[in-house]
Structures are given as C-alpha cells and as structure tokens.
Amino acid sequence: MAIDFEIPEEAKAVREKVRAWVQDECVPAEQRLLDGEKYEDVLGELRTKAREQGLWCPFIPPEHGGMGLGPLANALVQMELGQSYLGALSLNTQGPDDATMLTLLAHGTDYQKEKFLKPLLNGEKRICYSMTEKAAGADATGMQTKAEKDGNENYILNGEKWFSSAASVADIAVIMAKTDPDAPRHQQFSTFIVELPNDGYKIKRNIKTMAVHGPLSDILGGGHAEIEIKDLKVPAENLLGGEGNGFNMGQHRLAYGRLRHGMHNVAMAQRALDMATAHVTERTTFGKKLEERQGVQFMLADCASELYIARLMLLHIAYKAEKGMDLRQENGIAKVFLANMVHKVVDTAIQLHGALGYSQDTPLAAWYTHIRSQRLVDGPDEVHRWTTGRNVIKAFKAHGTTASAAGGDLL
C-alpha cells in the first residue's frame, strides 16, 4: 500500500485552467500596464473574462458566487496565481480582502453580509484590516485604540493604527479596538466595520518602506497606511462577531492569510528559479557556460530542495485541512519556512544574474525588497518559532518523544 500523492482529476483540471489563465492573460496584461494603459481598464477586462470562464473567488462557496474549491484545489490554484501580480487580483482573491471575506462569511450578520460582503465578492469594493498599532504588533493584545458606547447604539473609537495594507484604496475598513479593559486579555477587543472615506478614520500617509515601488505599486497593493482614529462613530449593527471576540476572529483570519502568502511564495520562487536556470544556460564566464559549473549546479539544487519541501508542506497542510484535522503546528512551521524559502531562492537568482540581478531590469530586485516583509507579517518568525518550540516541549512531556510536533503523524 502506498501513500496516494495523486491529485484528483478535478483539482488537476482547475490548476491547468488557472495556469493557462495566468500565463496567457495575466503576464501579458502586466506589460499593458507598464506600457501605460489604465489600471481600471486592464483589471476590469481581466476580471470580466475570468468570470466568464468560471474563475472567481476560488475558495468562496458557489452560493456566494465563488468556485467553492476545497483546501487542496485552492492551494494548487494559489500556487499558480502567485506567478503574476495580477493573478490574485484578476480572480478577486487578493489580500487582505480574501481573508476578510472569510471572516465576514463566518461571523457576519445577514445585514453585514448583504451590505459589506456582497460588494466585496462582486469585486465592486475593497477592504482593509486595521489591527496593528505603533504601540503593538506581534503582541496584538497591547493595542490601545478604544471603543466606548455613547449611550445611543453607537460606539465611538479613538486611537491610531499603522501598516493597514490597502487602506488608501479601500471602501471598507475592519478595525480592532478595546471594548473592555477589565476582561481577560484575549476578550478585551472587538471588531468594527467602517465605511470609507470617513472623517473619523484619517489616513495620515502611506508609509515609505524598503520595497521598491513601481508606478503601479500603490494602486495594486494599496500601500500601507498610518491612520488617526478620532471620534469615529460606528453604529452597533456594524460590530462584527459580538463584543470581546475580535481577537479570536483576527486569529481565524490570519490562519488562512498565512498559508496564502506561502502559496504565492512557491509561485514566485519557481519563477525565480526558472529565470536563474535560463540565465546560467546562456551566460559564459572563463570559457564555460555557467550551467557547467558544479558550484552553480549546487546552488540550483539547493533552491530545488527548498521548493520541493515547500510544496510537500503545503500539500500536507491542505490534506489536513480537507480532513478537518488540527494543523496549527504545521501551519506555524510552514509560515516561517515558506517566508525564508522564497528569500533564499530569490537571493540565489539575483546572485546568479550578477549585476543584472541587482538592477531593476529584471523583477528580481523588486521581489527581494517586497518579500523581506514576509518574515514580519502575520506574526514574525520568532513568535511562530516560540510557539512551535513550546509545542515540541509539550509533546516530549506528554509522549516521551517530540515526533507528534515534528510531522510525526505522517508516519
């Protein structure tokens, strides 16, 4: 009896369809944008075409207009979409919108689903998620933004946020704020839905980061905003998931987002390895093609190993998700691995391209600056490794071996 690594036919078929979609439509559309065509026109055209082909919101249930893919098929699709920066956008599955759609689906009232979720699913609106503050990030329980009832069925929010991705292009913000300072640490916070623009939610600036910004960066990614929240009035009907549940809902949201970044990383690393390999087959130094040097072959081999482990991790996690199994330990391990994996592969591709890799004549340099954030967002490496390490100790104490915390249930 062998382990069955065969991908079901329907999942293979949808992956092939999305692969062709990304290569034939999204990659050429990137060039149209660079040639100066309007973003709204190019994206609008892509989205209409995608929907006509049944490609839309991959993991959203069909009754809400999505493709209804399970974790495995979605992972395969996301691993293709990451090859183009228009991939996820063209199927309306870009972050941070996608994970917030899931939160609204799971926790929204009928009114919230009709008013806020529907236009998101239709691709008519975009949403941002404001949790992190200068005061608190990795330990989000340190947030200072407060929400107080005004006695009239409204909450009044005061505080600040920063690094709210896509806030400047969003029509809706989901904001976490402290509703009960006396409750247990993880029950002090609630989540509010706010329509933008709003005088109480003032975008002070898009924070300049180390990421290389092209002319389209702010439109596509929406930037990362610093926000002042002053006397922001939110009707009680816009409280999402009940008072005190903000923190748990945030974690639910991040659990999917963490994996999605990792899936896109596989696609980017694959493209980088392809570029590196193409380059070494063409470039000659000291009278020999680079591809003939064993040192260069070792570098390619290391990248291939990283990608192979990354794919196995994602498929194993998808398998666990399909079966409804606890995947928290694997998720934390994979989040860190996938962020570092893409870093190493893109770095190697830059190295093998020489000065060309350092230039902006290939996308590698820009990717390198963007992916540095992956070791910070959705929980920095150290916080995940802290939890993972604690689970290793717990497993040892419970079973006399650490195997169950180190992929041991594979065997």
Ligand X SMILES: Cc1cc2nc3c(=O)[nH]c(=O)nc-3n(C[C@H](O)[C@H](O)[C@H](O)COP(=O)(O)OP(=O)(O)OC[C@H]3O[C@@H](n4cnc5c(N)ncnc54)[C@H](O)[C@@H]3O)c2cc1C
Q: Is residue 131 near ligand X by the rule CB under 6 A?
A: yes
Q: Is residue 196 near ligand X by the rule CB under 6 A?
A: no
Q: Which of 68, 214, 244, 380 binds ligand X (CB under 6 A)?
A: 380
> Please, what sign has the CA dihedral across residues 188, 165, 96, 15?
negative
- In whole angstroms, give the CA distance from residue 74 to residue 69: 6
> Please, what sign has the CA dihedral across residues 101, 90, 257, 176?
negative
- In whole angstroms, give the CA distance from residue 22 to residue 367: 18
- In whole angstroms, give the CA distance from residue 119 to residue 101: 10
260 in Cβ contact with 177 (< 8 Å): no
Strand partners, 233: 156
Q: Is residue 137 near ligand X by the rule CB under 6 A?
A: yes
Alpha-carbon Rg for the chain, nearest whole angstrom, is: 22
Q: Is residue 87 near ligand X by the rule CB under 6 A?
A: no
- Contact letters (x/-) for ligand X, 171-190, by CB under 6 A? --------------------
Least separation in angstroms between residue 279's CB and ligand X is: 29
Q: Is residue 83 near ligand X by the rule CB under 6 A?
A: no
Residue carrying structure tokens 């926790």: 107
Q: Which residue is nearest to ligand X (CB)?
A: 137
Q: Is residue 164 near ligand X by the rule CB under 6 A?
A: yes
Stretch that binds ligand X, among 25-33, 112-120, 126-134, 337-345 (CB under 6 A): 126-134
Stretch that binds ligand X, among 30-38, 68-76, 131-139, 346-354 (CB under 6 A): 131-139
- In whole angstroms, give the CA distance from residue 107 to residue 103: 6
Q: What is the DSSP string of 326-348?
A: --HHHHHHHHHHHHHHHHHHHHH
The residue among 322, 246, 272, 374 whose CA lies nearest residue 4 is: 322
Least separation in angstroms between residue 37's CB and ligand X is: 27
Closer residue to ligand X (CB): 202 or 311: 202
Q: Is residue 165 near ligand X by the rule CB under 6 A?
A: yes
Closer residue to ligand X (CB): 216 or 383: 383
Least separation in angstroms between residue 173's CB and ligand X is: 10
Q: Is residue 317 near ligand X by the rule CB under 6 A?
A: no
259 in Cβ contact with 339 (< 8 Å): no
> What does the binding site for ligand X look like in residue numbers (CB under 6 A)?
96, 129-132, 137-139, 163-165, 224, 373, 376-377, 380, 382-383, 386
